[in-house]
Amino acid sequence: MCTSIVEIVRAEGAGVSEGGWFPVTSAAVTYDHPHHALLEDAITIDFVNPDLGPGARAAVEITLDTAKGLVAALTRAIAEAEEMEAGRGQSSAPKDEPRLRLIA
């Protein structure tokens, strides 16, 4: 059974596909049967530029648990980035070293 769960947002950035890098103009988040992942249903995230045709697509199919972890990681990274952006230009202290966190 198809779920018909679809959320589409404008996006600004770049994606890479078989043809190389392309400008991303929108992202679609769906929950339905995946095309490649061996799952019954999956969250699919498509980063696309419809003006460039079907080759301008970068996609992932992930489990609900993976999507929840991704949302949490994005939330933390966005909060830290906003904090860093708010402090720019107010201090001459050297930038922090990049941090990498692996959350199981």
Q: Which domain holds residue 27?
A: 5-63
**15: exposed, middle or buried (Cβ count in 10 Å: 0-12, 13-18, 19+):** buried
What domain count does the chain have?
1
Place of tokens 């198809």: 2
Q: What is the mean pLDDT of each run of 10 residues along the chain (104 residues)?
A: 86 95 97 89 95 95 96 96 84 53 58
Is 13 a member of any domain? yes
pLDDT of residue 93: 47
Nearest alpha carbon to residue 70 among 43, 88, 90, 48: 43
- Assess contact for 42 and 62: CB atoms under 8 A: yes
Is 34 a member of any domain? yes
Nearest 5°: the CA angle 42, 44, 46 is 170
Helices and strands: H and E segment counts in the chain: 1, 4
